[in-house]
Amino acid sequence: MRRVAIVGVGMTKFGEEWTRGYRDMLIEAGSRALADCNLHGEEIDALYVGTMAPGSLVGQEHVGALVADFMGLTPIPATRVEAACASGGVALRTGYLAVASGAHDCVVVGGVEKMTDTPGEEVASALGGAGDQEWELFMGATFPAIYALMARRHMFEYGTTEEQMASVAVKNHANAAKNRYAHFQNEITLETVMNSKYIASPLKLFDCSPITDGAAAVVLMPLEKAKRYTSQPIEIVASAQASDALALHSRHCESELHSTKVAAKKAFEQAGISPSDVDVAEVHDCFTIAEIMAIEDIGFFKKGEGGKASQEGRTALGGEIAINTSGGLKGCGHPVGATGVKQAVEVVWQLRGQAEGRQVEGAEIGLTHNVGGSGATAVVHIMKKA
């Protein structure tokens, strides 16, 4: 297997983008990624696009061909990748494997979702398909409800509090306020979170990530060629993916994501490092309890200590490990197909020293963690300065 590096990154502003369409956003992100490494279209061998539900949300299928067409990249192979909210992360892994195997020398990986043009109940229905449609969605179990069940179990087993979950939202909004690409540009207080209405108890409005539009893209190459295109290549030193039961009721434990634990363990073994070596991580915080479980399941904190660590500021900028410096899904936004790629963009910026206003000093190693549904898919990447 060849060593693989990210040489170019780009993304759009995340938010309610009423004036831009689905294809426009991905073309913008892709063009920025190519410009970032001075790459020309004729040098690209393949394209992978992570997107979850464009057919339901904007009426567009056959996305790979769409993007290749409008970016002027025909006739190269262009493939859509779908893994619910982990579509972007799995697209990145697919591109990584294509380069590592020698199948392709230059790959563009994009992620995109256009969500805000669709009525809320239709978005909820489309997202619900990421779980077990027959046994969860059809029976009325929304994703806030499913994660609320996880939160209740975590609270029962470990004493996690609503204030600890709220502290995750406060921290991530503070980071997002420093990120010009983020959906939310404002800081919030613990009181604001605690006084917001319940969506599915114990999860309140400010415990939940928003419905967002946006796109992100990265360019991958063999490490041996990377310095022809950038002075700061970022090597992907590990890529791992795992699965679990689709429905929450079929899992052996409701207070953890086993897929995350397996993917993280494999990634750390592949990279030859431990969780304590990571300086910055973008984890999947679709709900505040999801971040708490993620930082435990990845191994940054012992099981049951994630809530306390968050409340004590140990995951903030300047803490033990900086978590979700972009603002995460909660603050930066969650255009589901784009999230996993956006995470990689943020880590690259951090490792290059380009994360303006939120830079983790001396960052050498970064990690991304992207989840599909309520944990049926998890993908972890580890990156370092080359």
pLDDT confidence bin for 372, thresholds 50/70/90: very high
Note the pLDDT of residue 102.
98
Residues, the chain: 386
Look-up of token digits 């001075």:
38
> Where do the domains of the chain lie?
4-119+212-234, 131-210+236-385
Instruction: Tell me, yes or no, if 334 is annotated catalytic.
Output: yes
45: left (phi over 0), alpha (psi -120 to 50) or beta: alpha
Q: Is residue 134 exposed (0-12), middle (13-18) or buried (19+ Cβ within 10 Å)?
A: exposed
- Selecting among 85, 106, 286, 332, the annotated active-site residue is 85
Q: Is 338 helix (H, G, I), strand (E, B) or coil?
A: coil
pLDDT confidence bin for 141, thresholds 50/70/90: confident
What is 196-228 written as a DSSP string? Answer: SPEEETTEEGGGBPPP-BEEEEEEEEEHHHHTT
- Selecting among 154, 334, 369, 381, the annotated active-site residue is 334
- Partners of residue 336 on adjacent β-strands: none
CATH architecture, domain defined by 4-119+212-234: 3-Layer(aba) Sandwich (3.40)
Q: Does the fold of domain 131-210+236-385 match that of domain 4-119+212-234? A: yes
Mean pLDDT of 339-365: 98
Could you give the C-alpha distances from 168 to 118, 142, 194, 233, 384, in angstroms and in order? 28, 22, 12, 31, 26
pLDDT digits (tens, 9 = 90+) for 263-285: 999 999 999 999 999 999 999 99
pLDDT digits (tens, 9 = 90+) for 214-258: 999 999 999 999 999 999 999 999 999 999 999 999 999 999 999
Instruction: Tell me, yes or no, if 173 is annotated catalytic.
Output: no
Both tokens of 271, joined, read 């990279």
Both tokens of 187, joined, read 């800081």
Whether residue 134 is predicted with pLDDT greater than 90 in this model: the reply is: no
Distance CA 63, CA 47 (A): 11
pLDDT above 70 coverage of the chain, percent: 100
Mean pLDDT of 307-321: 98
Is the distance from CB of 366 to CB of 236 less than 8 angstroms? Answer: no
Q: Is 103 helix (H, G, I), strand (E, B) or coil?
A: coil
CATH number of 131-210+236-385: 3.40.47.10
- Sheet containing 377-385, strands listed edge to edge, beginning at the edge strand earlier in sequence: 78-81, 46-50, 107-113, 214-222, 4-11, 234-243, 377-385, 365-372, 280-282, 322-323
Q: Is the dihedral of CA 292, 243, 14, 143 positive or negative?
A: negative
Is the distance from CB of 198 to CB of 204 less than 8 angstroms? Answer: yes
Note the pLDDT of residue 12.
98
Distance CA 260, CA 185 (A): 29
pLDDT confidence bin for 128, thresholds 50/70/90: confident
pTM: 0.97
